[in-house]
Amino acid sequence: MADLVIKNLHVAVEGKEILRGIDLTVREGEIHALMGPNGSGKSTLSYALMGHPKYEITEGSVTFDGQDLLELEVDERARLGLFLAFQYPQAVPGVSVTNFLRMAVNAHRGVLSSDTRNDDPDAPKPIKIPEFRKLLEAAMDLLKVDRDLIRRYLNDGFSGGEKKRVEILQMAMLNPHVAILDETDSGLDIDALKIVAEGVNTLVTERGMGALVITHYQRLLNHITPEFVHILVDGKIVADGGPDLAKQLEADGYEKVLEGFGVELPARHGGDANKKPKTAGVAVGASA
């Protein structure tokens, strides 16, 4: 079972502890939402799970597909079936989306060098071009991706919305067991949001993908219905619930909802926390 099991995870950045004991399990076919005010550590969790070198694991464990995830290199984690849809995807000038996708698909098939001539008949072989095209066409249809977009250089000069769509296109092509979507809703207009949500729902229902949807706002959750909602405050999950919890947050704001759980927002979230977190695009509190 390709479950992602996080136990008592502590993460520090440049010596400062950001996550202070996270416990969370994402199973195949489950959708989890991780919500919380800015600065609570949501993005730190996604980077730490993917293995960014800047994020130091100081305590705890993470297993994925039965393996110790923290022992693995970034690319090994990816090939094992973990995917991160980035909040801020990097541009790679000169490399078209198509070529990038083909290389990534091949890497997932185990083609890790240009030595594609191998006498061993069981050695991994690169995907045939017609097969690749078919996969790509299907993924683009699912996500209504403009054909011009894949000829352009990866994320180079893309709008925020284009970047997010291409993140989800990559997810559809790479077929992960568990995907972390880090603020994928930011930068998307309502139509794009619906399409992206539909794509995620399809992967979850048809392919049994597990999803950890990190978001500040409810609006993505109007289209992706999580079974589990977790609220992260100051590096700890302080509240768990079902889809109603997200709706409650939408209606009442973090402070009031958390009061019900007997949790007080730390002072640095101050006045911001009183606002209802529904107005997309308004920065709240410290940056993530």
Partner 1 sequence: MTDITPVATTELTDAEADAVAMGDYKYGWSNDDSASNYAFKSERGLSEQTVRDISAHKNEPQWMLDERLKAYQYFLDRPMPEWGADLSGIDFDNIYYYIKPTESQAKSWEDLPDDIKDTWDRLGIPEAERKFLAGVGAQYESEVVYHKLREDLEEQGVLFLDMDSGLREHPEIVREYFGKIIPHNDNKFSALNTAVWSGGSFIYVPKGVHVEMPLQAYFRINAENMGQFERTLIIVDEGASIHYVEGCTAPTYTTDSLHSAVVEIIVKKGGRCRYTTIQNWSDNVYNLVTKRAEAYENAIMEWVDGNLGSKTTMKYPAIKLMGRGAHGEVLSIAFAGKGQHQDAGAKITHMAPDTSSVITSKSISKDGGRSSYRGLLAVKPGATNSKSQVICDALIIDPQSQTDTFPYIRIDEDDVEIGHEATVTRVNEEQLFYLRSRGLTEEQANAMIVSGFVEPITKELPLEYAIEMNKLIQLQMEGSVG
Q: Which of 100, 135, 243, 266 binds partner 1 (CB under 8 A)?
A: 100
Residue 135 Cβ, how far from partner 1 at the closest point, in Å?
12
Per-position x/- string for 112-151, each x denoting binding to partner 1 as judged by CB under 8 A, each - no binding: xxxxxxx-------x--x---x--xx---------x--xx
Stretch that binds partner 1, among 18-26, 63-71, 97-105, 186-194 (CB under 8 A): 97-105
Q: Looking at the DSSP assignment, which residues form a beta bridge with residue 20?
A: 10
What residues contact residue 28 under an 8 Å CB cut-off, 6+ apart? 1, 2, 3, 177, 178, 208, 209, 210
Which member of 61, 66, 68, 75 binds partner 1 (CB under 8 A)? 75
Give the shortest CB-75-to-partner 1 separation in angstroms. 4
Residue 245 Cβ, how far from partner 1 at the closest point, in Å? Answer: 29
Closest CA to 61 of 11, 13, 6, 24: 6
Please select the residue that binds partner 1; options are 38, 67, 99, 248, rule is CB under 8 A.
99
Which range in 108-116, 211-219, 247-255, 275-283 contacts partner 1 by CB under 8 A? 108-116
Of 20, 52, 275, 278, the residue at the interface with partner 1 (CB under 8 A) is: 52
Q: What does each C-alpha distance from 67 to 1, 3, 51, 175 come to in angstroms?
A: 11, 10, 14, 19
Q: Which of 6, 11, 22, 84 forms a contact with partner 1 (CB under 8 A)?
A: 84
Q: Does 170 bind partner 1 (CB under 8 A)?
A: yes
Q: Which residues bind partner 1 (CB under 8 A)?
A: 50-53, 73-75, 77-79, 83-84, 86, 89-96, 98-100, 102-104, 106-108, 112-118, 126, 129, 133, 136-137, 147, 150-151, 153, 170, 174
